[in-house]
Amino acid sequence: MRTYLENLIQEKGVELIDFIGIEGHYGLVWQDIVDYICVHAGDHHASIRDTLVKIDFQNGDVFHFLRHLTKGMLAAQGYDV
């Protein structure tokens, strides 16, 4: 999953150390959500990947979905989103 996510992000011309850009949560980078998904969302890897493949196949914005997942990560850790 890690390789898939890292390759997907980089193939879209974005670096893993680039900021995600969620208001009020400065300093989060794409590598943070990749790490979180790989470590804490193992039961959801198939559905996350399936969703990203569908979005990408339809030339949609995979980063919109990844930001959605990041907001879920923040909420799960008790942060206001």
- The pLDDT of residue 81 is 83
Q: Bridge partners of 19? A: 29
Dihedral angle of Cα 80, 24, 41, 5, to the nearest 10 degrees: 160
pTM summary value: 0.93
DSSP label of 29? B
Per-residue pLDDT tens listing for the chain (81 residues): 999 999 999 999 999 999 999 999 989 999 999 999 999 999 999 999 999 999 999 999 999 999 999 999 999 999 988
67: left (phi over 0), alpha (psi -120 to 50) or beta: alpha
Residue 51: other Cβ atoms inside 10 A: 16
Q: Please answer whether residues 59 and 12 qualify as being in contact, where contact means their C-beta atoms are separated by less than 8 angstroms.
A: no
- The pLDDT of residue 29 is 98
